[in-house]
Amino acid sequence: MIVEGFDLDKEIPAWSLGVDEKSIAQEFVFVNFKQAFEFMTLCAQYAEEIDHHPDWSNSWNKVKVHLTTHSARTLTKLDIQLAKAMDAFASQVKRS
């Protein structure tokens, strides 16, 4: 699926497109709560930098994330940018 000039299947293959095609989602699973929290901290710092914030929830070692640009009421390049960063943060945390 092409959104904002991005091929979602190639750019962020682990993310699922919402039924409304206006959001993307992924569940990140870590070894323990500490890793999940470290991931969320990295994401929160980056989200503040780019002024784009996820809708998410955490339960022990899992972090469920939904991204959309609320002001545009659809997906934008900011969602793709944040999704890519979150994928990178998850890999970084899992390697540590």
- The residue count of the chain comes to 96
Residue spans of beta strands (DSSP E) within the chain: 2-3, 6-7, 16-17, 24-29, 55-59, 62-67
- Choose the weakest-confidence range: 5-9, 54-58, 76-80: 5-9
User: Which tokens go with 52?
Assistant: 């784009």
- pLDDT tens digits, one per residue of 65-83: 999 999 998 899 999 999 9
Dist. CA 13–CA 46, nearest whole Å: 21
Is pTM beyond 0.85 here? yes
What angle, rounded to 10 degrees, do the helices at 33-50 and 77-95 form? 150
Structural domains of the chain ordered from first start: 2-95 (3.30.1360.20)
The tokens describing 93, both together, are 């945390």
